[in-house]
Chains A and B, each alone.
Chain A
Amino acid sequence: MEILVIVLAGILIGASVYLMLSKSLLRIIIGTGVLSHGILLMLLTMGGLKRGGIPVLDDSVQSYTDPLPQAMLLTVIVITFALTAYMLVIAIRVYKELGTDNVEEMKGVPRDDD
């Protein structure tokens, strides 16, 4: 089971690297989203995908799954969510101000003043 999830995470991370190397701003942001999914899957798998009860205290359950990776995962999800929202807003501003979403055209030193 772990092998399967690791391969899936690898495919996601590979796809995200491909997306992040593309020219469009939106594709780059989608790339970071896919990347975080791959990383989160890795984080979950690294705790071991042992079968056991959900980590909620219950007298009838003998063994639980590892609760620590799940707690870390929740934190990372929230942080990535905030970052994605911020990046989308920046992308809108960049598109409005520079009039392009092509990274190739974002070069040179413009001497604009604020």
Chain B
Amino acid sequence: MSNLIILPILLPFIAGTILIFFAKSSRLQKIISTVSVLTLVVLSVYLAFLAFQDTIILEAGEWAAPYGIILVLDNLAALMLLITSILAASCLFFAFGTISKKREKFYFYPFYFFLLVGVNGAFLTGDLFNLFVFFEVMLLSSYVLIVNGGSKYQLRESFKYVVLNVFASALFVMGVAWLYSVTGTVNLAQLSERVAEIGQPGIVTVIAVMFFIVFGSKGALFPLYFWLPRSYFGPPAAIAALFGGLLTKVGIYAIIRSFTLIFYHEPLFTHKGLITVVAGLTMFFGVLGAVSQFDFKRILSYHIISQVGYMVMGLGIFTPLAVAGAIFYIVHHMFVKTALFLLAGATEKITGTTDIKAMGGLIKSHPALTWGFFIAAISLAGIPPLSGFFSKFPIILSGFQEGQWVIAAVALLVGLLTLFSMMKIFGYVFWGENKLTEKQSKTSVTKLLIPIAPLVAFSVVLGFAAEPIFAYSLHIAEQILEPSNYVDAVLKE
């Protein structure tokens, strides 16, 4: 029964391994990957249902909790798995229509699934060093996917991306080493227990900041975000969308996990001080970057940075309401951001460029694309009936409740600037005089819109059905803010 929870790791791993053998046959690859990604979606829905009833633990090799590696499926992990599989399915179907034969031949699909192995593993694991290994599985696949195709720009920027991540991973190992020397364990539950026993002295807070730097550089927080817009510009839209939806959120998930489970004893310094300040700066500089750009993909990449700031801000305020808002925000952001990147890819397919000044008047020839983009864009900015509003509202509300006036004001201002830059895209690309040639306006992208439609629909549903979903994220927030739930489930005390 509890063996089920290894399937989100095992299934994409097996699928990726099988796909290596059929690398030359495009049709076979598409069939195998479709079947496995759809199985993954069904499986993760079922797992989310199971996790809602009780936290599930899997002890690898039947070694009891602190000695062996364990996998833990609580509500937060189940929710992240569920969104991951939906995004993976939709980006995969988009990739079928857009990835060129040349890229496909060079093991695009196997590495796509190995990336999912890393992401799912990072969500499920209950062991710090195992988390590092799954991070590396995810990053190695992302290195290959980001350079797949080998254009000059991709080669150049992916080298920087690789070096930065290698450095951050080295710091991760150093953090694990320090924490091991202080506590003598790498099991997350036992770490939580032992740090609680010694009451988080100064040295543990130093290690906490070290982990914040490591996960912050994976999740593109304030001083460490410079690599993101450049490296996400290179790869094709399907990959950029998957990265934009997933990779930074794994870093954010790791921050939320470690700062609610282990390092929660000095909230005045770590949460209310460091995390909140970094969140404010991340939001502000990210959105400033977006406002200054005139390139479709780059604007969206800078928006990832500013949106990540909201999630970390929710954690920084550190009340159940704010953390629930942050979780809701992750859900909303992953759907909407992936949809926007895929829409940018569809637009690029029509016009052949991502420079928004070179486009115009798509609303006449491609109304479905236009209105899809419009819904996603105003949802990102946080206009009431859509999901963006209900995810920003609890965060900013609890900012005011806790008397954090500055950060709440920054969050409101950033919302305004987000709206401005999304409307800039809308004005340049979809409105205005028609700059399309005859052939371009005849290009049909209906096939590409089918995988995007569910993502946009989810954004609308999350908005109109905000109450049950917010209750669910509040349930998750209360669960993770009480670390004894996790510790007792794992160590069975």
A97 touches B163 (CB 8 A): no
List residues of B (154-198) whose CB comes within 8 Å of A's CBs.
155-156, 158-160, 162-163, 166-167, 169-170, 173-174, 176-178, 180-181, 186
Residue of A nearest to B353 (CB): A111
List residues of A (80-99) whose CB comes within 8 Å of B's CBs.
82-83, 86-87, 90-91, 93-94, 97-98
B155 touches A47 (CB 8 A): no
Q: Which of A39, A43, A93, A113 contacts B150, CB < 8 Å?
A: A93
List residues of A (29-81) whose CB comes within 8 Å of B's CBs.
32, 35-36, 39-40, 42-43, 45-48, 68-69, 72, 75-76, 79
Task: Please give, as numbers and ranges, the residues of chain A lying within 8 Å of B100 by CB-CB distance.
Answer: 114
A90 touches B155 (CB 8 A): yes
Main secondary structure on A side of the interface with B: helix
List residues of B (96-147) whose CB comes within 8 Å of A's CBs.
100, 102, 129, 133, 136, 140, 143, 147
Residues A39 and B170 in contact in the complex (CB < 8 Å), given A25-B159, A72-B129, A82-B140: yes
- B188-211 CB mask vs A (1 if < 8 Å, else 0) is 000000000000000000000000
**How far, in Å, is B308 (CB) from chain A's closest CB?**
24
**Interface size class of chain A, counting residues whose CB lies under 8 Å from the partner chain:** 35 or more
A40 to B170 CA separation, bound complex (whole angstroms): 9
Task: Please give, as numbers and ranges, the residues of chain A lying within 8 Å of B173 by CB-CB distance.
Answer: 39-40, 43, 76
**How far, in Å, is A45 (CB) from chain B's closest CB?**
8
Task: Please give, as numbers and ranges, the residues of chain B lying within 8 Å of A46 by CB-CB distance.
Answer: 177-178, 180-181
Residues A32 and B166 in contact in the complex (CB < 8 Å), given A76-B173, A106-B156: yes
Task: Please give, as numbers and ranges, the residues of chain B lying within 8 Å of A97 by CB-CB distance.
Answer: 150, 152, 155
A109 to B158 CA separation, bound complex (whole angstroms): 14
Task: Please give, as numbers and ranges, the residues of chain B lying within 8 Å of A82 by CB-CB distance.
Answer: 140
A86 touches B170 (CB 8 A): no
With an 8 A cutoff between CB atoms, is B388 at the interface? no
Task: Please give, as numbers and ranges, the residues of chain A lying within 8 Å of B160 by CB-CB distance.
Answer: 106
B151 touches A114 (CB 8 A): yes
Task: Please give, as numbers and ranges, the residues of chain B lying within 8 Å of A91 by CB-CB distance.
Answer: 159
Q: Which of B133, B156, B167, B176 contacts A79, CB < 8 Å?
A: B133
A87 touches B174 (CB 8 A): no
**How far, in Å, is A107 (CB) from chain B's closest CB?**
9
Q: Which of B151, B153, B163, B174 contacts A39, CB < 8 Å?
A: B174
Task: Please give, as numbers and ranges, the residues of chain B lying within 8 Å of A79 by CB-CB distance.
Answer: 133, 136, 169
A66 to B167 CA separation, bound complex (whole angstroms): 27
A69 to B186 CA separation, bound complex (whole angstroms): 10
Q: Which of A35, A94, A110, A114 contacts B159, CB < 8 Å?
A: A94
Task: Please give, as numbers and ranges, the residues of chain B lying within 8 Å of A114 by CB-CB distance.
Answer: 100, 102, 149-151
B147 touches A90 (CB 8 A): yes
A46 to B173 CA separation, bound complex (whole angstroms): 11
B174 touches A42 (CB 8 A): yes
CB-CB nearest 7 A-B residue pairs: A46-B181, A46-B177, A43-B177, A114-B151, A112-B152, A106-B156, A39-B170
Q: What would be 19 A-B contacts, judged by CB atoms less than 8 Å apart?
A: A32-B170, A35-B166, A39-B173, A39-B177, A42-B174, A46-B177, A46-B181, A68-B180, A83-B136, A86-B140, A87-B159, A87-B166, A90-B159, A93-B155, A94-B156, A97-B152, A98-B155, A109-B153, A114-B151
